[in-house]
């Protein structure tokens, strides 16, 4: 879909549909009042008769409103004027986009830019609407013989802005929103692709395609054999159980000066997690195809960054393998030596994410990074702690923790800071190795993060546990694209790109 901006009076717009907000109870927005005046109170009368209360997400589609040049006017309920939150704004945009798409309006001019979302400017409102629109229209139907497509889909969506100055702001917001949405779609496509197709090899191929698509990206692949040779014993302990070999897939994006230190993103790319010999129960195991959601979000962020051409250097390390039970798989009790030299007693082969990630973190040292952030569907425990709303955020460097929290707020992609206190480290004690990979049931997301922190001592590091946020279960099962908005915002903030700059 195509987005653009325009600044012009409402009665002169020739379009398939005008989109106008109505607050509760029956209160027209400023633009709504203009249309009401033009149409000799046609709208006001409808409201008084009770056709539209203005409740959040309510819809009223009118044809041929007197004295307008538009085929239709779509009124959308925005709830109480004073209480408009980001989530409500998102609900409104979703409703508008799906309605337009289903009712044959192939283009529309949207006046929702005049809604007051507390603390959010025009840039934010337009960018977020673009992201939300793409998100609402996203489908994953590659494997469906019959595709469910709209007969007359929405093609062009125009944001009205109130001044010429705002046109430029709007155009930047659209560009940024498109890039972040493209990143989310990349992430969702990869994550939704099942484990029989999306293997470690498949992810590496995708990274090679990135290098072809973007002149700024270089891809290299470190094979399982090379990793074994190198001494990445923790990674190998996971990968060796599968017939699909694992690897480290590395994408280097250069947008800044060559000698500038890079930011490194490390993604957990377990393309399927059976649990290994510590086999998972069968129910819902299909969802463990999403155990490469961290890796998928690194791909998505790479795409967003490359599309926006951010002036910084970024390295993506995809730690990818399949966690399978087999005659070659690790057993509970096995002791391995990680790439860092620290030894690990594998008390549970289902705590495999931290095993592949710890060696990837050590590998990251060779890029002399400014900051390293790993992203992983690491623990079921983070879902118990934070549910499906927020990703668990950990950092060994407070300013970095704050930057990520602030990016999370700006991008409306929630994260919540969790502690890395020393006291928790006792839970990882092992009788036979330096430590174990299992911290027991209490504070399971925290002990997993503490485990990783033992491999992140040489740089500023943050960890996002996205097990609760990367995908939805149940009827609406599917990847969410998170935390691409958060990571993209963090990187945009690094180079002061926020629409007003
Ligand atoms: N990929 C899972 C985490 C997970 C579980 C994400 C359920 C989403 C839903 C991870 O590899 C895992 O199995 N973690 C174990 C760790 C435990 C054995 C210490 C868990 O969370 O149960
Ligand atoms: Mn597991
Ligand atoms: Zn896992």
Task: Provide DSSP, 192-253.
Answer: HS-TTTS-HHHHHHHHHHHHHH-TTEEEEEEEHHHHHHHT-HHHHHHHTTSSS--EEEEEEE
For residue 297, report the distance from its CA to the centre of ligand 1, in Å. Answer: 18
Question: Does residue 159 surpass a pLDDT of 80?
Answer: yes
Better pLDDT: 500 or 388 = 388
Backbone φ and ψ for 2, nearest 5 degrees, come out as: -110, 135
For residue 449, report the distance from its CA to the centre of ligand 1, in Å. Answer: 13
Ligand in closest contact with the CA of 275: 2
Read off the pLDDT of residues 217-233 as tens digits, 9 standing for 90 and up. Answer: 999 999 999 999 999 99
For residue 383, report the distance from its CA to the centre of ligand 3, in Å. Answer: 14
- Whose alpha carbon is nearest atom 3 of ligand 1? 379
% residues pLDDT > 70 (the chain):
99
C-alpha R_g of the chain: 25
Backbone φ and ψ for 159, nearest 5 degrees, come out as: -95, 125
The C-alpha atoms of residue 204 and residue 251 are separated, in whole angstroms, by: 10
Backbone φ and ψ for 200, nearest 5 degrees, come out as: -55, -40
Amino acid 498: pLDDT: 59
Across the chain, how many H-helices and E-strands are there? 14, 20
Amino acid 454: pLDDT: 98
The C-alpha atoms of residue 359 and residue 111 are separated, in whole angstroms, by: 51
Q: Which of 44-53, 128-137, 205-214, 338-347 has the lowest mean pLDDT?
A: 44-53
CA angle 270, 275, 281 (to 5 degrees): 130
Q: How many CA atoms lie within 13 A of 221 on its CB side?
A: 19
Amino acid 151: pLDDT: 86
- Whose alpha carbon is nearest atom 5 of ligand 1? 380
CB–CB of 489/410 below 8 Å? yes
Task: Name the burial class of residue 283, with classes exposed (0-12), middle (13-18) and buried (19+) by CB atoms within 10 angstroms of its CB.
Answer: exposed
Output the CA–CA distances (angstroms, integers) from residue 140 to 1, 136, 143, 190, 193, in the order listed: 16, 12, 8, 10, 9
Ligand in closest contact with the CA of 347: 1
The helix-helix angle for 30-38 and 42-49 (nearest 10°) equals 110
Backbone φ and ψ for 272, nearest 5 degrees, come out as: -155, 135
* Ligand 1 atom nearest to 278, measured from its CA: 18
* Ligand 1 atom nearest to 353, measured from its CA: 11
CA proximity to 219, closest of 143, 314, 308: 314
User: What is the DSSP secondary structure assignment for residue 286, as one 8-state letter?
Assistant: G
Mutate to test the pocket of ligand 1, among 280, 380, 464 (most ligand atoms within 8 A of CB): 380
Question: Does residue 112 surpass a pLDDT of 60?
Answer: yes
The C-alpha atoms of residue 254 and residue 70 are separated, in whole angstroms, by: 47
* Ligand 1 atom nearest to 468, measured from its CA: 8
Question: Does residue 501 surpass a pLDDT of 60?
Answer: no
Q: What is the mean pLDDT of residues 27-48?
A: 94
Residue 401 has a CB neighbour count (10 Å cut-off) of 19
For residue 414, report the distance from its CA to the centre of ligand 1, in Å. Answer: 21
Q: What is the mean pLDDT of residues 436-449?
A: 98
CB–CB of 319/356 below 8 Å? yes
Just list the catalytic residues: 280, 354
Q: What is the dihedral of CA 143, 146, 150, 156, to 10 degrees?
A: 40
Q: What is the mean pLDDT of residues 3-19?
A: 93
- 3-state SS class at 251: strand
Residue 380's contacts (CB-CB under 8 Å, 6 or more residues apart) are 444, 467
* Ligand 1 atom nearest to 437, measured from its CA: 19
160 pLDDT band, cuts 50/70/90, is very high
- Whose alpha carbon is nearest atom 17 of ligand 1? 351
Amino acid 11: pLDDT: 86
Residues with CB under 6 A from ligand 1: 273, 291, 348, 350-353, 377, 379-381, 438, 444, 467
- Whose alpha carbon is nearest atom 9 of ligand 1? 380
Tell me which residues have their CB within 5 A of the ion that is ligand 2.
273, 350, 352
CB–CB of 146/194 below 8 Å? no
Q: For residue 223, list its beta bridge partners.
A: 247
CB–CB of 302/252 below 8 Å? no
The C-alpha atoms of residue 108 and residue 345 are separated, in whole angstroms, by: 60
Task: Provide DSSP, 122-144.
Answer: HHHHHHHHHHHHHHHH----TT-
Better pLDDT: 252 or 104 = 252
Q: What is the mean pLDDT of residues 141-158?
A: 94
Output the CA–CA distances (angstroms, integers) from residue 99 to 153, 256, 378, in the order listed: 10, 43, 37
149 pLDDT band, cuts 50/70/90, is confident
The C-alpha atoms of residue 6 and residue 14 are separated, in whole angstroms, by: 12
Q: What is the mean pLDDT of residues 441-458?
A: 98
* Ligand 1 atom nearest to 444, measured from its CA: 19
For residue 380, report the distance from its CA to the centre of ligand 1, in Å. Answer: 5
Tell me which residues have their CB within 5 A of the ion that is ligand 3.
270, 273, 291, 353
- 3-state SS class at 481: coil
Backbone φ and ψ for 315, nearest 5 degrees, come out as: -115, 130
CB–CB of 477/290 below 8 Å? no
Read off the pLDDT of residues 337-355 as tens digits, 9 standing for 90 and up. Answer: 999 999 999 999 999 999 9
Q: What is the mean pLDDT of residues 38-59?
A: 94
- Whose alpha carbon is nearest atom 13 of ligand 1? 350
Read off the pLDDT of residues 236-253 as tens digits, 9 standing for 90 and up. Answer: 999 999 999 999 999 999
Q: What is the mean pLDDT of residues 191-199?
A: 99
Q: Which of 7-16, 219-228, 232-241, 435-444 has the lowest mean pLDDT?
A: 7-16
* Ligand 1 atom nearest to 381, measured from its CA: 21
Q: How far is CA 289 from the centre of its chain?
A: 17
CB–CB of 21/29 below 8 Å? yes
User: What is the DSSP secondary structure assignment for residue 259, as one 8-state letter?
Assistant: T
For residue 160, report the distance from its CA to the centre of ligand 3, in Å. Answer: 46
Question: Does residue 500 surpass a pLDDT of 80?
Answer: no
Ligand in closest contact with the CA of 469: 1
> Which residue segments constitute the domains of the chain, with CATH numbers given?
2-165 (3.40.220.10), 180-497 (3.40.630.10)
For residue 342, report the distance from its CA to the centre of ligand 2, in Å. Answer: 21
Question: Does residue 362 surpass a pLDDT of 70?
Answer: yes
Q: What is the 3-state secondary structure (H, E, C) of 57-94?
A: CCEEEEECCCCCCCCEEEEEEEEEHHHCCHHHHHHHHH
């Amino acid at each position: 879909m195509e987005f653009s901006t325009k600044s012009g009076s409402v009665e002169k717009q020739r379009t398939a549909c005008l989109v106008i907000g109505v607050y509760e109870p029956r209160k027209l927005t400023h633009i709504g009042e203009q249309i009401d005046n033009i149409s000799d109170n046609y709208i006001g009368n409808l409201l008084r008769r009770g056709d539209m209360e203005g409740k959040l997400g309510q819809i009223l589609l009118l044809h041929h409103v007197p004295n307008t040049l538009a085929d239709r006017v779509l009124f959308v309920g925005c709830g109480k004027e004073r209480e408009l939150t980001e989530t409500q704004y998102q609900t409104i945009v979703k409703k508008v986009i799906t309605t337009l798409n289903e009712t044959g309006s192939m283009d529309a001019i949207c006046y929702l830019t005049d809604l007051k979302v507390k603390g959010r400017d025009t840039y934010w409102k337009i960018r977020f609407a673009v992201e939300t629109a793409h998100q609402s229209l996203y489908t994953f139907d590659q494997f469906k013989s019959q595709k469910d497509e709209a007969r007359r889909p929405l093609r062009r969506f125009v944001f009205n802005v109130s001044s010429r100055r705002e046109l430029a702001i709007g155009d930047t917001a659209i560009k940024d929103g498109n890039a972040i949405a493209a990143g989310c779609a990349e992430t969702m496509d990869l994550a939704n692709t099942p484990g029989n197709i999306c293997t470690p090899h498949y992810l590496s191929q995708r990274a090679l395609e990135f290098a072809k698509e973007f002149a700024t990206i270089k891809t290299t692949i470190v094979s399982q054999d090379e990793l074994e040779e190198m001494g990445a014993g923790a990674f190998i302990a996971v990968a060796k159980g599968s017939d699909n070999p694992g690897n480290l897939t590395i994408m280097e994006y250069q947008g800044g000066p060559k000698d500038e230190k890079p930011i490194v993103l490390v993604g957990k790319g377990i393309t399927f997690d059976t649990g290994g010999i510590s086999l998972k129960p069968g129910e819902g195991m299909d969802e463990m195809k999403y155990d490469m959601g961290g890796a998928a979000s690194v791909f998505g962020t790479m795409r967003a960054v490359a599309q926006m051409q951010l002036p910084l250097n970024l390295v993506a390390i995809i730690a990818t393998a399949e966690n399978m039970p087999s005659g070659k798989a690790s057993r509970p009790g096995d002791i391995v030596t990680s790439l860092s030299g620290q030894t690990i007693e594998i008390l549970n082969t289902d705590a495999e994410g931290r095993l592949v990630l710890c060696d990837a973190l050590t590998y990251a040292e060779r890029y002399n990074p400014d900051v390293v952030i790993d992203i992983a569907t690491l623990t079921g425990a983070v879902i118990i702690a934070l549910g499906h709303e927020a990703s668990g955020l950990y950092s060994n460097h407070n300013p970095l923790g704050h930057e990520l929290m602030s990016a999370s707020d700006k991008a409306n992609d929630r994260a919540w800071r969790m502690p890395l206190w020393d006291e928790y480290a006792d839970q990882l004690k092992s009788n036979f190795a330096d430590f174990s990979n299992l911290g027991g049931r209490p504070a399971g997301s925290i002990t997993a993060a503490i485990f990783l922190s033992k491999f992140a001592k040489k740089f500023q590091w943050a960890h996002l546990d996205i097990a609760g946020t990367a995908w939805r279960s149940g009827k609406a099962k599917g990847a969410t694209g998170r935390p691409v908005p958060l990571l993209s915002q963090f990187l945009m903030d690094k180079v002061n790109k926020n629409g007003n700059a």
